[in-house]
């Protein structure tokens, strides 16, 4: 016995396809969304407006679509439980063991911010305050460059005096199937961040993010 999909089921399926398309791109135009889901532009627009009304999709001043605040909150809660945080704990502890510095796990929280999901605290008496749960800008920050796709897998970036004065941040992306799904960052008091320590932090972050990406890719 076969069951014919109802109109409401088809609508849900199409909306989910659009939601998937929006989350796979940094920003998506209506034309690109319609093409990705093989829907007429009028149908895609109607569904995107519904998703926008539910807070699952947002539209910027250029008319481009990106994940909305409700979707970001849901995603952050899911990541906090599993699998990203759980899979990242051991690699994050490895970074602390190799560097002595605190390490954060972050994900994008919309088109302009990142959110710190978790921390493994460093071993120094002077270390970064726990910012888990806080947001920071993507623009001009090390974690922002990593999450925005400006840092290749297997590489890291260093930025000084961005969100906080006298703090040097290093970050490396967790890249799965070509897309950054998270980033690890060390936040180091600048007075302590010698060239040798910066190199060690970068190497440790790259190794840890590669391990996390490998684990996620197996899931």
Q: Domain residues of the chain, as ranges?
A: 7-66, 74-218
Superfamily of segment(s) 74-218 = GAF domain (3.30.450.40)
Q: Does the pTM of the predicted model rise above 0.85? A: no
Tokens of 199: 């190199």
Higher pLDDT, 42 or 165: 42
CATH 1.10.10.10 for the 7-66 domain, yes or no: yes
Q: Tell me the longest C-alpha to C-alpha distance in the chain.
A: 71
Distance (Å, whole) CA 207 – CA 167: 22
Mean pLDDT of 113-128: 85
Mean pLDDT of 184-193: 94
The pLDDT value given to residue 3:
46
Mean pLDDT of 135-146: 92
pLDDT per position as a tens digit, 66-111: 888 777 666 655 554 457 888 899 999 999 999 999 999 998 887 7
């Amino acid at each position: 016995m076969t069951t014919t999909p109802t109109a409401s089921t088809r609508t849900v399926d199409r909306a989910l396809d659009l939601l998937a398309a929006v989350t796979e791109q940094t920003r998506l135009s209506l034309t690109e969304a319609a093409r990705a889901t093989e829907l007429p532009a009028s149908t895609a627009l109607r569904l995107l407006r519904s998703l926008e009304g539910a807070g699952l999709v947002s539209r910027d001043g250029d008319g481009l679509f990106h994940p909305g605040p409700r979707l970001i909150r849901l995603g952050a809660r899911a990541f906090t439980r599993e699998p990203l945080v759980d899979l990242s704990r051991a690699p994050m502890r490895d970074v602390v063991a190799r560097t002595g510095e605190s390490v954060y796990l972050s994900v994008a929280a919309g088109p302009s911010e990142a959110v710190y999901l978790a921390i493994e605290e460093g071993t120094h008496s002077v270390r970064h305050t726990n910012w888990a749960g806080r947001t920071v800008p993507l623009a001009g920050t090390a974690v922002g460059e990593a999450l925005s796709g400006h840092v290749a897998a297997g590489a890291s970036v260093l930025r000084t005096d961005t969100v906080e004065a006298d703090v040097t941040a290093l970050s490396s992306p967790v890249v799965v199937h070509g897309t950054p799904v998270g980033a690890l960052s060390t936040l180091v008091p600048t007075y302590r961040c010698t060239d040798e320590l910066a190199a060690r932090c970068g190497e440790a972050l790259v190794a840890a993010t590669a391990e996390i990406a490998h684990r996620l890719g197996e899931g």
